Structure 1
Amino acid sequence: MDRPGFTVSLVAGGVAGVSVDLILFPLDTIKTRLQSPQGFKKAGGFRGIYAGIPSAAIGSFPNAAAFFITYEYVKWFLHADSSSYLMPLKHMLAASSGEVVACLIRVPSEVVKQRAQVSASSRTFQIFSNILYQEGIQGLYRGYRSTVLREIPFSLVQFPLWESLKALWSWKLGHVVDSWQSAVCGAFAGGFAAAVTTPLDVAKTRIMLAKAGSSTASGNVLSVLRGVWQTQGLSGLFAGVFPRMSAISLGGFIFLGAYDQTRSLLMKLGKESL
């Protein structure tokens, strides 16, 4: 396995991240409002569904680029032992490492974005300034632990499944899958992973939206999940599951398809320039 190019992973990951975040932003807003403790209508309903998009636009490129740079390098590093039965484990480790690094960029962007989504009358920069003034830098990282606890299980399901589906399809075709086929595998893998990790996403949303100083804001994921279960039951734990599955299935198609397509194009251009 060739060592991945830094620039290729950077650009391909960034393009993929921007594409999916901007295209699917309205679905993400609806999902956030469904999970909001104040309820869908009070959080804004279907009004102002692009509230918070500046935060997503600024954070999406570096966030996705950081993930894929880490993912490709860890995957390359672990590939020294090419035992096929260990490949899913290697993909899990690579994806988990990528999420831990990417969340350093993703969480501040997500905190600002989600607060804007449930308060469409406030401007993104105003929300950002208020967080810094009232809570300091740690306010921007509220929910880091819950986000990592959501993203790692998600990636443990999504990326090994994506890689396995591509490998199976490639084996049946007798050649490496095309970008659109990789995108189809990504859609299936993303939708499945989204469904099973929705309760963790609910907990992350509640923690990020909680008032500063409240028990929820402390970031205890199990405590938040227990509270949701006691007050709303199973429907509360899976609030927003359908828009989340829809967004991430479409997102998986766009994100992983765009990544593979951009990466292949950049590598081809790199070879032609030699």
Structure 2
Amino acid sequence: MAETEQPSRFEINGHDLSITEPMITGRIESELGAPEDQRNNNTSGSNLGIGERAFSAAGAAVLSAIIVNPLDVVKTRLQAQAAGVHYSHPLSNLIGRMAYFGPNTMFADLRCSPSCTRAGVHGTVSICPPDCFQYKGTLDVFNKIIRQEGFARLWRGTNAGLALAVPTVGIYLPCYDIFCNWMERFAEQYMPGTTPYAPLVAGSLARSLACVTCYPIELARTRMQAFKDSQIGKKPPGVFNTLLGVLSDVKGRNPQSSCRLISTVHVSVQGYRVLWTGMGAQLARDVPFSGICWSTLEPLRRKLLGLVGEESNVLTVLGANFSAGFFAGSLAAAATCPLDVAKTRRQIEKDPVRALRMTTRQTLMEVWRDGGMRGLFTGVGPRVGRAGPSVGIVVSFYEVVKYVLHHHYATS
């Protein structure tokens, strides 16, 4: 609130008297009815447009996707192995041997783990036993991927992650800002008791919108991270080729029809649906995740920002948002881990008929039957280790860029 003094003139018995009285002028947030604690602690500048918000979110998404991708790969491998994906060296099957010992392929070390004993020799190359390619925990996944596939493979799916993160976060965070501000203003005017629930509802709606829009890329990323390459020396498929592989599975399993047109239409419709396989599980994971995350993050960061009051700067905005985001993201990731396991299992299902028929509830029951509580929380370590820093990086970078842009516009 800004307070200015406005002189008022009165005439009494022919004499002019000047009386100074305060006149209060309010900010835009006051006129719109934003909560007082939000106005005091809001460093992001509510006058920024959707373009500035989307730019801030896209930068945050790129930074986060690159930094935390290895943990995402590890988490996906552990969950895929629990779902029945068999990890082995290409020499364990005939096709792999033919590809490996082809005329244009050099003999190379199979790079067994130090704890494994050599099982035998195929020509001039030692063959590792199958257990050398089974993952026993988070650190074991890191070690075996680096030794057997190379350090760069920890960033497998980063291109899909970037292709997914930029539009997803570019939709998610700006929409959350807009929804949350609108809901808080509405609640303050008509239902004051519901104001604390605005972040929960806004986060759930924004995440649902982003998920539905960008889901096929998420499907491609999970498959790229879950499956190892069957042929050595062959470049792994990218996002587009991975999605084409999903569609080819549907086409290959479609029975021949006497009417070619009907068959083509059927394949087209089935292919369209299969690109959204597991979206129900994704929404079942992301909506509670966003609700838990934002309902925890908002009051925590407002409290942290309230400790510094009006003396906030870039460092305090960064610290408060990263701390709140780290804690909220870790809590939400741990709570929704079973739904993440179900999402991964549905996305890596290669039988399109089964993939389209399975529901999230059936998948969770299947996981419980196979592995119990431990199965439901497969990969919880790397998931929490990824989500905490990821949310902290995204939210803090997003708010810092908005803070800088807001002050730039305010001083220009």
Q: Could you say whether these structures have the same fold, taking a TM-score greater than 0.5 normalized by the shorter chain as the test?
A: yes
The structure that has the greater radius of gyration is: 2
Displacement after TM superposition at 1:117 (Å): 0.9
Partner of 1:116 in structure 2? 224
State how far apart, in whole Å, the 2-side matches of 1:141 and 1:4 are.
34
Higher helix fraction: Structure 1 or Structure 2?
A: 1
Superimposed CA distance per residue, residues 253-272 of structure 1 (whole angstroms, 9 cap, x where no aligned partner): 21111111111122223334
Superimposed CA distance per residue, residues 73-107 of structure 1 (whole angstroms, 9 cap, x where no aligned partner): 11122132337753331111110111111102332
Partner of 2:71 in structure 1? 27
Superimposed CA distance per residue, residues 46-80 of structure 1 (whole angstroms, 9 cap, x where no aligned partner): 23222222211212111101001211111122132
State how far apart, in whole Å, the 1-side matches of 2:172 and 2:294 are.
12
Partner of 1:73 in structure 2? 178
Partner of 1:53 in structure 2? 158
Could you tell me which amino acid in structure 2 is paired with residue 59 of structure 1? Answer: L
Partner of 1:158 in structure 2? 293
Query: What SS does structure 2 have at the residue aligned with 1:154?
Result: helix
Displacement after TM superposition at 1:179 (Å): 1.7
Matched, 1:128 2:263: no
Q: Is the 8 A contact 1:199 1:238 kept in 2?
A: yes
Superimposed CA distance per residue, residues 113-144 of structure 1 (whole angstroms, 9 cap, x where no aligned partner): 11111224231132122123444232221111
Moved more, 161-170 or 233-242: 161-170
State how far apart, in whole Å, the 2-side matches of 1:262 and 1:212 are.
44
Query: What SS does structure 2 have at the residue aligned with 1:79?
Result: helix
**CA separation of 1:134/1:203 partners in 2, compared to 1, >3 Å: closer, same or farther?**
same
**CA separation of 1:160/1:84 partners in 2, compared to 1, >3 Å: closer, same or farther?**
farther
Aligned residues: 273
**CA separation of 1:229/1:208 partners in 2, compared to 1, >3 Å: closer, same or farther?**
same
Moved more, 50-59 or 83-92: 83-92
1:204 paired residue among 343, 362, 387: 343
Displacement after TM superposition at 1:161 (Å): 0.6
State how far apart, in whole Å, the 2-side matches of 1:267 and 1:141 are.
38
Displacement after TM superposition at 1:41 (Å): 4.3
**CA separation of 1:191/1:86 partners in 2, compared to 1, >3 Å: closer, same or farther?**
same
Moved more, 98-107 or 44-53: 44-53
2:276 paired residue among 127, 133, 141: 141
State how far apart, in whole Å, the 2-side matches of 1:133 and 1:92 are.
40
Matched, 1:232 2:371: yes
Partner of 1:193 in structure 2? 332
Partner of 2:26 in structure 1? none
State how far apart, in whole Å, the 2-side matches of 1:183 and 1:142 are.
33
**CA separation of 1:91/1:183 partners in 2, compared to 1, >3 Å: closer, same or farther?**
same
State how far apart, in whole Å, the 2-side matches of 1:78 and 1:35 are.
37
Superimposed CA distance per residue, residues 4-28 of structure 1 (whole angstroms, 9 cap, x where no aligned partner): 5111211111111111111110100
Identity of aligned residues (%): 25
Query: What SS does structure 2 have at the residue aligned with 1:164?
Result: helix
State how far apart, in whole Å, the 2-side matches of 1:68 and 1:93 are.
13
RMSD between superposed Cα atoms in Å? 2.1
**CA separation of 1:40/1:196 partners in 2, compared to 1, >3 Å: closer, same or farther?**
farther
Could you tell me which amino acid in structure 2 is paired with residue 13 of structure 1? Answer: A
Query: What SS does structure 2 have at the residue aligned with 1:210?
Result: coil
Partner of 1:97 in structure 2? 205
Q: Is the 8 A contact 2:76 2:379 kept in 1?
A: yes
Higher strand fraction: Structure 1 or Structure 2?
A: 2
Moved more, 258-267 or 154-163: 258-267
Could you tell me which amino acid in structure 2 is paired with residue 266 of structure 1? Answer: L
Partner of 2:6 in structure 1? none
Q: Is the 8 A contact 1:59 1:105 kept in 2?
A: no
Q: Is the 8 A contact 1:182 1:257 kept in 2?
A: yes
Query: What SS does structure 1 have at the residue aligned with 2:378?
Result: coil
**CA separation of 1:219/1:21 partners in 2, compared to 1, >3 Å: closer, same or farther?**
farther
Displacement after TM superposition at 1:232 (Å): 0.6
Could you tell me which amino acid in structure 2 is paired with residue 62 of structure 1? Answer: P
Superimposed CA distance per residue, residues 189-225 of structure 1 (whole angstroms, 9 cap, x where no aligned partner): 0001100100000000001011233535534111101
Name stretches of at least 5 consecutive residues in structure 1 with no aligned partner.
none
